[in-house]
Structure 1
Amino acid sequence: MALRTLITRRLLSTSVFSSQFGAAVSNLNAAGSAASDKPAPVPSDTLFVSGLNKRTTSEKLQEAFAKFGEVVHAKVVTDRNTGFSKGFGFVKYATLEEASKGIEGMDAKFLDGWVIFAEYARPRPPLGQTGPQDPYAQRR
């Protein structure tokens, strides 16, 4: 983060850059500091992949991620009624090391013409502990 701040200050010190891109860089720095406030993801052997092309199949997803390790299972989530992709899916690797290599290799890369994002999947909450469905339930 210190290097980013140093580069930003250096760039903003030039009047041409400052007049054209100063606000955008300031917004970028604010977003960067907010992103660092998030807790670190818990490593998992399952990856959540978002930004998938609507035509990407589970087979294509498995083939793309298999370059980085043994893929146990890959699934593109589809709409129950239409059968069309919802634009995200899951990839399960045999080990945590392979999963981290999969993230490094495929995060922010192109698949079927679209930029996809890969991150560790968050575990599902236990049944019965999903929280209230009514946003005002805690106020009553």
Structure 2
Amino acid sequence: MATVKYTDEHEWVSVENGVGTVGITDYAQEQLGDVVFVEVPDVGRTVAKGEAVAVVESVKAASDIYAPASGEIVEANAALADAPGDVNLEPTGKGWFFKIKLADPSELDGLMDQAKYDAFVKSLA
């Protein structure tokens, strides 16, 4: 079963068999507004935890998407180039950005679970 964790930058990562699928949370897409452009990373790229690896642009702002852990990009959601609105429609579904083969899964230990993330979002209001 996949484990989902959240960053304080409003990314989510769903981990299964050592591979994390990364996207932005529903809260993040609401804050951005209508997403008009997404740039996903190149497959094969090695990234460090906290490194900016993708970009999402909306009618309001542009934001970097950060790697929640170190590893290699094994898949990118190229469909977002033609359908960036999927980030708004299904941020935790078909609006995912990239998949990363985790170099060290323990790097995710400091991230929030659903309950902690929900409390974090409430604290921002």
Write 1 or 2 for the structure with the bigger share of helix. Answer: 1
TM-score, structure 2 normalization: 0.31
Where is the strand percentage greater, Structure 1 or Structure 2?
2
Looking at CA atoms only, which structure, 1 or 2, has the larger radius of gyration? 1
Higher RCO, 1 vs 2 (CA within 8 Å, ≥6 residues apart):
2
Q: How does the TM-score come out when normalised to structure 1? A: 0.28
